[in-house]
Amino acid sequence: MKKITYLLSTLLIVSCTDNGLIDTEQLENIQPSTRAVGDGKYDALGYGYNCFYADFSDPLYVQGKVIDIERLEEGRGRDQITKDELSFTPAKINEAILHGRAQSRIAYGTSIDKLTKKLNVNVKTKIGTKILKVFSLDLEATINQNSTSNNLNSFYKVDALKTTRRLTLPYTSPSRLKYFLSDEFLADLKELSGQEIIQKYGTHVMTDILLGGNFSAFYTGKYESTDQFNEQEFKAKSNFLLSSVKAGTKYDRTLFKSFKQVNVYIKTQGGTVNSSAIISQSPDGVLDNVSIDYTGWINSVSQNSESLIGIGNPDSQMYLLSDFIEDPIARIDIEAALLSLPAQEIVLSSRKNNVINSTAILTVMDVSNKEVKRPELYPIQGGSISRGLIKFIKSKGYYRIQSMVDRNNEYYLDSSGNYSVFKNDNSQLWQVCVPENNASDFMLKNIGTGLYLSSYDLKFYEKPQVEKEPNFCWHIGYSNVYGNDF
């Protein structure tokens, strides 16, 4: 595994205090450390990444292995649900040697939120009608939230890159890669909650990565008044300072005299020479005198010392982790966690229309005598959603289906088609089965009997023929993530 040297991410964190924009005292004692990323040959390719904290330029936020590259190269796919082996054409990882080509990235904003929105990263952030806020937690960790909307603030980030390699999976969309998930990831999908999955595997999957070295400068400062606001002035002075630092020449220490509380956080990733530093402005407007060995650092960046520094092709889209998951219950659980929503209570609907031409949902008879009675298909009408709320609970690699109608007692759907109190056997365990020709719906198989619960008549049958699968398929008609979808 390659070793990647970096200054802890707090060097790129801005904080607001009563005394000024940045509290630098606790940052000056931070020491560089090392981190091993990926499997060596392909580094972090196929791994998860936590985009809540940063874009794909910091190896600190690389998470667990999602894609099994060895299986992908050998064409040994498998069905996520049944684990049946599937044969595909063997594929090769695309590797481009870049020979130290130079690139740069810049972003500016009067708040961290505005700055991160200008980062040129093609990443999926939409779930239903909701948009995830990404790339910001690393910077917001020590920021007073009220100050982020202050138009007197300036935040400017410049990344100077020396690229060594670009690695890309032969397929970058989930439609093919979903057949090559790692053993550990598939096992965790059966047992872990959505929140636990995110903590271990991140928010997105890296299918196209850029390796090399990154010399990153993050500038923060304040204008004296709104009359002085000039974005171009702050950016021009920042760029001039960076040029002087990289060239190893003296810079005008009063360069930012028209600003106050200026701090410059410089950190390097990749290479064997640490050139990280903090340049702060004194109350009288004078910058620290700092010398950085930029030449030594950039000359030390090679394939032997490379780091994750971004996405290989800016046009490559990075997909959400949930996009790779076929099990609709597990997928919606992860999406709820991404949106910071509680464990999902959903409504299952049948594709069968009743006599009044309205979709029916799986609900229960009235609760009486502290007992939840048998399920029924109930036409959609006022109040029916609350009557049909259920929760899928992971258990022994399968699910228990709990009725949420009576919240004072726990009743689970069993192999008789009724709700009953907890039983420590397979009669209340269910498997979610996704038809090949209809990924939006699913069938329910009882583990105790091996029979399938029909969504048309609530009776149990042997595994249906493909042409009869629609008679057995259920659909998520309501969830906190998507709302109604009848």
Q: Average pLDDT for residues 247-263, to the nearest whole number?
A: 93
At 252, is the pLDDT very low, low, confident or very high (cuts 50, 70, 90)? very high
Q: What is the pLDDT of residue 386?
A: 77
Residue 86: CB atoms within 10 A of its CB come to: 12
Instruction: Lowest mean pLDDT of 131-135, 313-317, 368-372, 413-417, name the range.
Output: 368-372
> What is the rounded CA–CA span in Å between residue 87 and residue 94?
21
DSSP secondary structure string, 60-88? GGEEEE-B-HHHHHHTEEE-TTT--EEE-
pLDDT at 148 over 60: no
Residue 290 has pLDDT above 80, yes or no: yes
9 pLDDT exceeds 70?
no
Single pTM value for the model: 0.87
> CA nearest 395: which of 421, 430, 348?
430
CA 378 to chain centroid, in Å, comes to 37
- Tens digit of each residue's pLDDT (9 = 90 or more) over 117-129: 998 789 999 999 9
* Residue % of the chain over a pLDDT of 70: 84
- What distance in Å separates the CA atoms of residue 182 and residue 41, rounded to the nearest whole number? 17
Decide: 415 and 425 in contact? Cβ < 8 Å.
no
pLDDT band for 383, please (50, 70, 90 cuts).
low
Confidence of residue 282 (pLDDT cuts 50, 70, 90): very high
Place 355 in a pLDDT band, splitting at 50, 70 and 90: very low
Confidence category of residue 432, pLDDT binned at 50, 70, 90: very high
pLDDT band at residue 30 under the 50/70/90 scheme: very low
- pLDDT score recorded for residue 20: 34
Q: Spell out the residues 6+ positions from residue 405 whose beta carbon is closer than 8 angstroms to its own.
A: 363, 364, 367, 372, 386, 387, 389
Phi-psi region of 165 (alpha: psi -120 to 50; beta: other; left: phi over 0): beta
Cα 291 to chain centroid, rounded:
37
Contacts of 23 (CB under 8 A, 6+ apart): 15, 17, 142
Q: What is the pLDDT of residue 437?
A: 75
For the chain, domain boundaries: 3-324, 344-484
* Sequence-ordered list of residues with C-beta below 8 angstroms from that of 67, at least 6 positions apart, any chain: 45, 46, 47, 169, 177, 180, 181, 182, 205, 207
Please report the pLDDT score of residue 353 as a whole number.
62
Per the document, the length of the chain is 486
Question: For residue 383, which amino acid is it?
Answer: G
> Is a pLDDT exceeding 90 seen at residue 367?
no
- Across 164-178, average pLDDT: 96
Tens of pLDDT, residue by residue over 337-352, are: 999 998 889 999 887 7
Helices (H) and strands (E) counted in the chain, each on its own, are 10, 28
CATH code that applies to domain 344-484: 2.80.10.50
Asked if the model's pLDDT at residue 476 lies above 50, the reply is yes
Give the separation between CA 95 and CA 77, rounded to whole angstroms.
Answer: 22
Q: Residue 477 has what pLDDT?
A: 85
Helix (H, G, I), strand (E, B) or coil at 280: strand
Q: What pLDDT is stored for residue 439 in this prediction? A: 75
For residues 431 and 191, give the distance between their C-alpha atoms in angstroms, rounded to a whole number.
Answer: 13
